[in-house]
């Protein structure tokens, strides 16, 4: 265990844990976009920056990837931290001016789009955090999407931008996306995502459509549980 101070509070934490996790466990709020408990952090969005002082050195660090240490002093809202966060948010807003989530976050932090950063002409809502790609690969295990092109043209898509044969329509990518970039529409007995339409299965207890048939087949093959036994929605389990 190590002893540190976060925002003037003395805290004891397990050595090696990340500042963000420790701060959250102690009820402190640090804004993030690319952090989720289901996947490893990669430090993409840079919104979680904090000021960490160790000995005589004070540095701005990404709290989702920076481990706590004995005697460390952390400030999550210093003027320097807030300036960096505002700048990061302005850059993200310039890339994704249409993202409702980013706009809300900016409004909360009193950040407005700046003229010096030219808004992206394509109006994408993707901040290239890879949350969707990594979730599809590491959590779902199908790798149906990835990144194409480079530089400003870089974007997330299915291979060759064609209808994905490996996608199971689970929607985990849309769920995890922090900026609402991935479009998914579930209407009645169908769900459309990544340009492909999936047939939905009804829950055998309540009768509501709850998951794509392809997803249940995939889980059944992975776990050995008969697909029919999986046909019960979360509320009825
Ligand atoms: S949450 Fe740390 S960089 Fe995004």
88: Cβ below 6 Å to ligand 1? no
* Average confidence (pLDDT) over 44-55: 96
Q: Which atom of ligand 1 is nearest to the CA of 65?
A: 2
Query: Is residue 155 domain-shared with residue 68, that is, in the same domain?
Result: no
pTM (whole model) above 0.75:
yes
179: Cβ below 6 Å to ligand 1? no
Give residue 121's pLDDT band: very low, low, confident or very high (50, 70, 90).
low
Residue 122, pLDDT score: 65
pLDDT surpasses 70 at 63 = yes
Residue closest via CA to ligand 1's atom 3 equals 43
Residue 57, pLDDT score: 93
Q: Which atom of ligand 1 is nearest to the CA of 62?
A: 2
Q: 1 near 12, Cβ under 8 Å?
A: yes
Q: Last residue of a domain, which of 93, 123, 153?
A: 123
Query: Is residue 3 domain-shared with residue 44, that is, in the same domain?
Result: yes
44: Cβ below 6 Å to ligand 1? yes
Residue 192, pLDDT score: 95
pLDDT in tens, 165-189: 899 999 999 999 999 999 999 998 9
149 Cβ partners below 8 Å, 6+ apart? Answer: 155
215: buried, middle or exposed (CB in 10 Å: 19+, 13-18, 0-12)? buried
Q: Last residue of a domain, which of 78, 97, 123?
A: 123
Query: Is residue 189 domain-shared with residue 228, that is, in the same domain?
Result: yes
d(CA 34, CA 40): 10
Q: Last residue of a domain, which of 86, 105, 123?
A: 123
Query: Is residue 202 domain-shared with residue 164, that is, in the same domain?
Result: yes
Question: Which range of residues forms the domain containing residue 93?
Answer: 1-123
């Amino acid at each position: 265990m190590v002893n540190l101070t976060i925002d003037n509070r003395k805290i004891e934490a397990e050595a090696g844990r990340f500042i963000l996790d420790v701060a959250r466990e102690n009820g402190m709020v640090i804004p993030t976009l690319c952090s989720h408990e289901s996947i490893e952090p990669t430090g993409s969005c840079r919104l979680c920056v904090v000021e960490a002082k160790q000995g005589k050195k004070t540095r701005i660090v990404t709290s989702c990837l920076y481990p706590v240490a004995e005697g460390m002093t952390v400030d999550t809202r210093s003027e320097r931290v807030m300036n960096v966060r505002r700048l990061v948010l302005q850059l993200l807003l310039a890339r994704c001016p249409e993202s409702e989530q980013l706009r809300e976050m900016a409004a909360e932090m009193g950040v407005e789009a700046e003229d010096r950063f030219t808004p992206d002409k394509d109006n994408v809502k993707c901040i290239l955090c890879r949350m969707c790609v990594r979730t599809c690969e590491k959590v779902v295990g199908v790798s149906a999407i990835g990144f194409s092109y480079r530089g400003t043209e870089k974007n997330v898509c299915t291979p060759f931008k064609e209808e994905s044969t490996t996608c199971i329509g689970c929607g985990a990518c849309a769920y995890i996306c922090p900026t609402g970039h991935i479009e998914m529409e579930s209407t009645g007995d169908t769900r459309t995502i990544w340009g492909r339409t999936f047939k939905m299965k009804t829950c055998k207890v309540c009768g509501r459509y709850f998951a794509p048939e392809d997803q249940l087949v995939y889980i059944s093959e992975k776990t050995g549980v008969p697909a029919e036994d999986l046909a019960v929605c979360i509320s009825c389990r």
